[in-house]
């Protein structure tokens, strides 16, 4: 019986050591702690896909996006500029109208309804907490809504 207990203890110890050798830390998986300043953060980047073709037939613009090196959250103002990791939101403009709206929800898809048949464009800008566009992070998506059948 003592030999069985000793063997089981040795196997269990080996399994624990082997598991911990392959385990990733929380930092490995999730990145830096929000309480830690990240020095020399890489530049933010905005990637926008073309609009989904199916919904365009109904006058609906739906384009997925993603960001790199910036978190899209509803936090604004001068103090938020010091946050690390960096935070921001999107500004969206339709057909060069003077008004725009901000999206801080990080839904991953810009969804705009009510387009009539014809040519249109949507400008999506990645901005900081003070509404300044990150350098080079403005994407204009031209598209055509087909005539109704």
- Model pLDDT, residue 15: 62
Q: How far is CA 38 from CA 35, 82, 84, 98, in A?
A: 9, 11, 6, 36
CA 122 to chain centre: 18
The residue with greater pLDDT, 119 or 82, is 119
Chain segment 1-48, per-residue pLDDT in tens = 677 667 656 666 666 655 555 678 887 887 767 677 667 889 999 999
Q: How far is CA 149 from CA 42, 62, 114, 145, in A?
A: 48, 20, 16, 12
- Model pLDDT, residue 61: 96
- Per-residue DSSP letters for 39-74? TTPPPPEEEEPPPPHHHHTTT-EEEEEEEES-EE-S
- Model pLDDT, residue 96: 93
Chain segment 95-141, per-residue pLDDT in tens = 999 888 888 888 899 999 999 999 999 999 999 999 999 999 999 99
């Amino acid at each position: 019986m003592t030999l069985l207990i000793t063997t089981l203890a040795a196997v269990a110890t080996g399994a624990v050591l082997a598991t911990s050798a392959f385990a990733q830390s929380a930092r490995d998986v999730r990145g830096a702690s929000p309480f830690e300043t990240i020095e020399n953060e890489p530049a933010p980047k905005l990637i926008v896909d073309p609009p989904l073709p199916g919904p365009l037939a109904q006058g609906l613009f739906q384009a997925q996006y993603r960001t790199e090196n910036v978190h899209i959250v509803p936090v604004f103002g001068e103090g938020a500029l010091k946050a690390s990791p960096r935070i921001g939101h999107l500004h969206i403009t339709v057909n060069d109208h003077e008004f725009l709206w901000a999206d801080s929800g990080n839904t991953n898809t810009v969804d705009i309804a009510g387009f009539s048949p014809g040519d249109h464009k949507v400008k999506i800008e990645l901005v900081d907490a003070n509404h300044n566009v990150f350098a080079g992070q403005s994407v204009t998506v031209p598209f055509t809504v087909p005539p109704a059948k």
